[in-house]
A and B are shown apart, each in its own frame.
Chain A
Amino acid sequence: MADSDRTSLLSVYRTAALIKAADEKLRGLLTSGELAVAYYSPRGQEVLAAATSAHLDAQDYLVTTYRGIHDQIAKGAPLDLLFAEIFGRVTGTCKGKGGPMHVTHPSTGVMVTTGIVGSGLPIAVGLATSSSIRGDGRVTVVCFGDGASNIGAFHEALNLAAVWKLPVVFVCQNNLYAESTRYADGTSAARIADRAVGYGIPGERVDGNDAAATLDVVGRAVARARAGEGPTLVEAVTYRFMGHYFGDPGAYMDADEYAAALARDPVPALRARLIADGVADEATLADIEAEATAKVEAAAAFAADSPLPGVAELTSDVYREAVYHEEVPA
């Protein structure tokens, strides 16, 4: 293994450990009742998010969904601000006005998070169009689920991105379920990657729980985009361990399938591989995990101690300039 590969894998683990710790903290707070928000856990999808963003700079653009905290953390959005946003605090990424489904943090390239299935794809096409016109060298990555590949926006976006040869990578995080509908009951194609054929662009399927393979596949897609060779559809196959939403009883999930997936949980799998391949020792990994926990605890404390937005925030930011008849009541 080349030194650069070893460093990349270790940094994927660092990011994945942070995502996992953040998710566990949030679920703990939801369980204890300290937090009461709609939450869509990314547990099980940490490694593919970390491997995807490993290829991006801060100025590259990311678009993601309601199940997006893994992507946002991987892209570099500050954990304190993410937690504060989820807590609805004025110190959050969006002053508490977006919430977990609508996180934006432009300085780290987190441009849009949407709660509408599939709608991120045309927006990503627009971000990439701006890069194409300006020649600014940025790459746009848009993450979405398997279910989103059945909505019209997916197809319009892939076609348009292909026609215009845009610097965009479509990353489908195929966790085998769309809400409680199993993949095959809602998706006609055996492989989502095959849908790329209809648009004349490369479609690559990868085991999204395999850090090295995902690094490789996304790396090639980002390089193509950066070189002006156009879009790629990446299908990263994964699994979600916590169901669709926090509190989902998950009765629709097959127990054997679940157990098999859990046995291949990507975060411990990457950890074991790092040790087996001699990339890192137990102490190094324990340090990384302790650091993740400390960051998460600090973020949760920051959020809990932060003020709520004042009532003036209700009416600001509807338009750039306040409209005179909508002035904030005194």
Chain B
Amino acid sequence: MSAASARKITFQQAYNEALDEAMAADDSVFVLGEDVGDKEGGGTFKVTSGLSTKYGTSRVRTTPISEQAIIGTAVGAAVAGMRPVAEIMLMNFITLGLDQLVNHAAKLRYMSGGQTGVPLTVRTATGAGGGFGGQHSDMLEAWLAHVPGLKVVVPSSPADAKGLLLSSIFDDDPCVVIEHTQMYWSKGPAPEPGVRIPLGRAHIARPGRDISVIAYGRPVGEVLALADRLAGDGIEVEVVDLRTISPLDERTVLESVARTRRAVIVHEAVGQFGVGAEISARIGEELHGDLASPVVRVTSANTPVPFSPALESRYLYQIPDVESAIRKACQ
């Protein structure tokens, strides 16, 4: 193992390194968002720490609390050929800028007949488990994945976080990268500098012949640990990490389920009308007759994120439910 790959980094470092490398490589990359400058502390989660000192406040621009203007500014600058990276402090606040994402970023390439792309990236943080209650914790990826023209990315490891953010910044279409507030300080192996992970491609994080568990983001690590345990009982779980939610890598998902004939889908967002429903539908449409058991979704509860830790921990998707779904399907 080389010295570089023995290095471990946190998610926070991974995102920071990706921004740093992108800004060093390309003058058209710039960062904007609330509190992102070093004078303001380098971002709520310190992801932009050090960048304004290194690249100046023209390229690392602290904004007022104006989500429409932040995303709209990114749209305009991207139409002019820049590669803006906008930070929306928390994903619930993206709702204030949805017009710019849904009506403009996603559609200006199409509506202009291909003349103007919108190569922006929105980075945003969210997730339950921090005791922030209903307005600071939602996973809203399905809202965005419903819109053709947007790309939606949810990394599950620091190395993926860095590689996927780099790919998003240099992608010619609008990308939303969803970071997890409860994972910023967890560590994993660092990638070599400059390594990009392709968008729109899922990753077989663990091969297995008995059942496919399709997940993304935080649950991936937990499902991998579960798969290790189940291997002891002779159940070989294949873990498919989507990495990109939209455009969905349907081929990798369907090929995996075609092999295992069983599927469990796990995500942190609420289940209703969600990513799991979409994947389940596609599996059903393509593989119905070949399935050995029904497709099962394990998601967070169909409620707002509650405040009390006693409720919040029950709101979240439960790994024991994933285990029983796997065992039942493999009986």
Contact = CB atoms under 8 A, between A and B. Distances in A.
A318 B149 contact: yes
A125 interface: yes
B58 A133 contact: yes
Interface string A287-330: 00000000000000000000000000100111111011110000
Contact of A124 (B32, B76, B82, B250): B76
B116 A106 contact: yes
A22 interface: no
A157 B69 contact: yes
A87 B107 CA distance: 20
Interface string B60-100: 01011010110111111111111010000000000000011
Contacts of A323: 200, 247
Interface stretch (A68-76, A159-167, A184-192, A252-260): A159-167
B115 interface: yes
A188 B59 CA distance: 37
Given A122-B71, A153-B69, A104 B76 contact: no
A94 B112 contact: yes
Contacts of B104: 112, 114, 116, 119, 123
Contacts of A42: none
Contact of B72 (A98, A123, A313, A326): A123
B103 A114 contact: yes
> Which of B71, B77, B113 gathers the greatest number of chain A CB atoms within 10 Å?
B113
A101 B43 CA distance: 38
A282 to B, nearest CB: 42
Contact of A126 (B58, B75, B113): B75
Given A94-B115, A129-B73, A160-B64, A317 B109 contact: yes
Given A94-B113, A156-B68, A126 B200 contact: no
Contact of B251 (A125, A127, A324): A324
Interface string A139-181: 0100000000000110011011001100000000000000000
Contacts of A123: 72-73, 75-76, 79, 100, 104
Given A94-B113, A94-B115, A106-B115, A119 B79 contact: no
A284 interface: no
Interface of A: 61, 63, 92-99, 102, 104-106, 111-112, 114, 116, 119, 121-133, 140, 152-153, 156-157, 159-160, 163-164, 313, 316-321, 323-326
B112 A320 contact: no
A93 B112 CA distance: 7
The 3 closest A-B CB pairs, nearest first, are A126-B76, A122-B72, A95-B113
Nearest to A119: B99
Contact of A112 (B63, B71, B108): B108
B110 interface: yes
Contacts of B72: 119, 121-123, 125-126, 153, 156-157
Contacts of A130: 76-77, 80-82
A160 B70 CA distance: 9
A326 to B, nearest CB: 7
B199 to A, nearest CB: 10
B25 interface: no
Given A61-B80, A126-B75, A159-B69, 6 more contacts: A111-B116, A126-B77, A130-B81, A156-B64, A325-B250, A325-B251
Contacts of B61: 129, 164
Contacts of A163: 64
A104 B66 contact: no
B132 to A, nearest CB: 24
B193 interface: no
A134 B182 CA distance: 37
Contacts of B232: none
B58 A119 contact: no
B87 to A, nearest CB: 15
A111 B114 contact: no
B149 A126 contact: no
A200 to B, nearest CB: 13
Contacts of B172: 320-321
B111 interface: yes
Contacts of B191: none
Contacts of B247: 319, 323, 325-326
A254 to B, nearest CB: 33
A104 B112 contact: yes
A317 B113 contact: yes
Interface string B240-280: 00000001101100000000000000000000000000000
A152 B68 contact: yes
Interface in B93-151: 99-100, 103-104, 107-117, 148-149, 151
B110 A317 contact: yes
Given A122-B68, A157-B69, A319-B173, A95 B114 contact: yes
A102 B111 contact: yes
B317 interface: no
A160 B66 contact: yes
Contacts of B108: 104, 112
Nearest to A61: B80
A95 B73 CA distance: 26
